[in-house]
Amino acid sequence: MRAVRLSILLLAAAASAGAAGCATLPACPAKGGPRWRELTTRNVTLRTDLDETEARETIRRLEEIRAALLAVFWPGAAPPAVQTNAVAMRSIRELTAFTRDPHSPPQVWGFRRTDPPFEPIITFAGTDARSFRVLVHELVHDLSSWYVPIQPAWFAEGFATFLETAAYDRETGVFEFGRPASERARSSLGGPFRAAVLLD
């Protein structure tokens, strides 16, 4: 049942992909490809072919950032009545084969797809810093679309792009966002800054 459900979700997620591209997806597990696994917490379901350690770290990051975003931006609201569904592919090469992104380097590093009656789903690749920003970006779309179902594109993308800078430090418990990605931009602003200052 889970394998069928995963196949349906992956097909729904790929519906927006273009027709170009010549890369191939990895072999299925029965033919020596990476094993797929499903991890579920109270708020997140993750389907992935990452190894177990990376899969557990990825779902933990999803939970941490999700909780922080809800606490900061929707503190008095009831939590979403649905789980966050995510598919994390092992690499950008695998995602590129899946989406058939014809660009080199690839332009599609992740996306969120909604195709009723299927559940909304976030798809992204890898576990590096860029992949983490994509994970956060798509998670912001997932949460904000629950609380603000009708959004102009400029708002939806602007909000997600700003908040993809979010970072959570497990040791200190600090949730930070708004820090530029590049060292040049960071030094020109003199370091981290508060969202209230930026939006004032």
Q: What is the pLDDT of residues 90-132, one digit of tens each?
A: 888 888 888 887 878 777 788 888 888 888 999 988 888 888 8
**Dist CA 27 CA 2 (whole Å):** 19
Enumerate residues 6+ apart whose C-beta is below 8 A from 33.
26, 27, 49
In this predicted model, which residue has the larger pLDDT, 85 or 95? 85
In this predicted model, which residue has the larger pLDDT, 39 or 103? 39
Question: Do the Cβ atoms of 86 and 45 come closer than 8 Å?
Answer: yes
| Alpha carbon distances (Å) from 123 to 75, 85, 199 | 26, 9, 30
**Dist CA 163 CA 144 (whole Å):** 11
pLDDT of residue 29: 76
Mean pLDDT of the chain: 79
User: What percentage of the chain has pLDDT greater than the value 90?
Assistant: 34
pLDDT of residue 24: 65
* Across 58-72, 97-111, 128-142, 174-188, least confident range: 174-188
* Across 22-26, 52-56, 111-115, least confident range: 22-26
Q: Residue 17 region, left (φ>0) first, then alpha (ψ -120 to 50), else beta? A: beta
Hey, what's the torsion of the CAs at 118, 121, 90, 36, to 10 degrees?
Answer: -40
* Across 22-31, 174-183, 186-195, least confident range: 186-195
Task: Please state the separation of Cα 157 from the chain's center in Å.
Answer: 14
